[in-house]
Amino acid sequence: MVRVSVVMPVHNGAAGLAATLDSILTQSLSDFELIAVDDGSTDETPALLAQAAGRDPRVRVLRQENAGITRALIRGCAEARAELIARHDCGDRSRPERLERQCALFDDADVVLAACFVRTVAPGGECLYVTEADGDAVRRSLLEDDVDRVRALPHHGTAMFRRAAYDAAGGYRPQFYFAQDVDLWIRMARHGRIAIVPEVLYEATVATGAISSRNRAEQFESARLSIAIRDGGNEQALLARAAEIRPRGGRAGAVGDARALYFIASCLRRNGDRAWRRYARAALLRLAGVRS
């Protein structure tokens, strides 16, 4: 049995897939499998994944009709053969020692969920910010704080967790198209400790067309529903409400893209990076396209 199952959902991720695969397949810990769930891609993603699987037997490719990241995660985790499951997002990159360093945290039998610090970059590679966290503080927040103050892991893609704790918590819930990670971490936090490597081992890229960029209001509302369930609300009714929250397209999605570009520009300007002007200009052009 392999030590770690890395689960990576992919939907039309060809542009960043090669760099992501390279960062995973060159890890210092070699005893793992990579489960890539192709969520109905229509670009070059299927061909790139097939090539990777042909070159490296650790790569397993699953394909399904487009159903969204949550259902892709559910399938990938169900297929995992290791005692530890690690997440990874397409378009992001892990430092070579990430899996090894996070695996070491599970030498503590009380740890059920682990992560690391994250460097977040713009589509052009410019550094936006670094996210740090303390595992015990994150656990307390997940179990006690309201939606305005709750702290989760530094990034969904950094997560590594015990398969037994994942199953005991009930796994990802299909009703949550958004905030499926916060919903799972809340339930998993009841089963043991959260530990975080105090070092940047993961680089996340802000993609303006990603659901987290386009649908922040939906993310917030979904997290609110998960916390309401945690606090004793009517679970059946709240899950039914979560199941109704789905992505916005058309003009709303374009506005979300513009907001994401403006956010990138704001971060870069604060950092003194003159590239902010390029992203600000792109945001204005996106809005102009919406209004025309």
Q: Which of 139-148, 151-160, 279-288 has the lowest mean pLDDT?
A: 279-288
> How sure is the predictor about 202, in pLDDT bands with cuts at 50, 70 and 90?
very high
Cβ neighbours of residue 36 closer than 8 Å, sequence gap 6 or more: 8, 10, 49, 52, 59, 60, 61, 62
Are both 252 and 200 inside the same structural domain? no
Residue pair 149/232 in contact (Cβ under 8 Å)? The answer is no
Q: Is the dihedral of CA 57, 58, 59, 61 positive or negative?
A: positive
Cβ neighbours of residue 56 closer than 8 Å, sequence gap 6 or more: 25
- What is the model's pTM? 0.95
Looking at residue 284, what is its pLDDT? 92
Three-state SS string over 181-248 comes to HHHHHHHHHCCCEEEEEEEEEEEEECCCCCHHHHCHHHHHHHHHHHHHHHCCCCHHHHHHHHHHCCCC
Q: Which domain holds residue 281?
A: 248-291
Number of residues that make up the chain: 292
Looking at residue 63, what is its pLDDT? 98
Mean pLDDT, residues 194-217: 85
Q: Which of 116-125, 170-179, 243-252 has the lowest mean pLDDT?
A: 243-252
> How sure is the predictor about 250, in pLDDT bands with cuts at 50, 70 and 90?
low
Looking at residue 215, what is its pLDDT? 80
Q: Which of 66-70, 98-102, 260-264 has the lowest mean pLDDT?
A: 260-264
Assigned domain for 235 exists: no
> How sure is the predictor about 259, in pLDDT bands with cuts at 50, 70 and 90?
confident
Looking at residue 278, what is its pLDDT? 95
Mean pLDDT, residues 113-134: 97
How many domains in the chain?
2
pLDDT tens track for 28-39:
999 999 999 999
| Domain final residue, candidates 205, 239, 257 | 205
Are both 178 and 71 inside the same structural domain? yes
Assigned domain for 167 exists: yes
| Domain final residue, candidates 145, 175, 205 | 205
Q: Which CATH number is 16's domain given?
A: 3.90.550.10
Looking at residue 201, what is its pLDDT? 98
| Domain final residue, candidates 205, 227, 259 | 205
Are both 34 and 123 inside the same structural domain? yes
Distance CA 54, CA 49 (A): 9
Assigned domain for 217 exists: no
Are both 253 and 199 inside the same structural domain? no
Residue pair 41/11 in contact (Cβ under 8 Å)? The answer is yes
Q: Is the dihedral of CA 113, 114, 120, 125 positive or negative?
A: negative
Assigned domain for 105 exists: yes
Cβ neighbours of residue 154 closer than 8 Å, sequence gap 6 or more: 115, 116, 117, 118, 131, 132, 133, 196, 202
Backbone angles phi, psi at 32, to 5 degrees: -150, 165
Is the pLDDT at 210 greater than 70? The verdict is no
> How sure is the predictor about 248, in pLDDT bands with cuts at 50, 70 and 90?
confident
Residue pair 88/6 in contact (Cβ under 8 Å)? The answer is yes
Are both 152 and 263 inside the same structural domain? no
Are both 200 and 264 inside the same structural domain? no
> How sure is the predictor about 181, in pLDDT bands with cuts at 50, 70 and 90?
very high
Q: Which helix (H) or strand (E) holds 129?
A: strand 127-131
Are both 124 and 260 inside the same structural domain? no
Distance CA 252, CA 74 (A): 28
Percent of the chain with pLDDT over 90: 88
Q: Which of 90, 66, 95, 77 is nearest to 173 (CA)?
A: 77
Distance CA 49, CA 62 (A): 10
Residue pair 241/175 in contact (Cβ under 8 Å)? The answer is no
Are both 106 and 187 inside the same structural domain? yes
Residue 113 vs residue 211, higher pLDDT: 113
Residue pair 94/23 in contact (Cβ under 8 Å)? The answer is yes
Are both 286 and 156 inside the same structural domain? no
Is the pLDDT at 263 greater than 80? The verdict is yes
Assigned domain for 168 exists: yes
Longest dimension (CA), the chain: 58
Are both 151 and 269 inside the same structural domain? no
Residue pair 17/10 in contact (Cβ under 8 Å)? The answer is yes
Mean pLDDT, rounded, of the chain:
94
Residue pair 159/172 in contact (Cβ under 8 Å)? The answer is no
Assigned domain for 219 exists: no
Looking at residue 56, what is its pLDDT? 98
Residue pair 269/241 in contact (Cβ under 8 Å)? The answer is no
Q: Two tokens at 81?
A: 């053969």
Assigned domain for 226 exists: no
Assigned domain for 213 exists: no
Are both 189 and 72 inside the same structural domain? yes
Which of 207-216, 254-263, 283-292 is modeled with the greatest confidence? 254-263
Are both 92 and 24 inside the same structural domain? yes
Residue pair 157/132 in contact (Cβ under 8 Å)? The answer is no
Looking at residue 225, what is its pLDDT? 98
pLDDT tens track for 109-119:
999 999 999 99
Q: DSSP 3-state assignment of 274? A: coil
Amino acid at 223: A
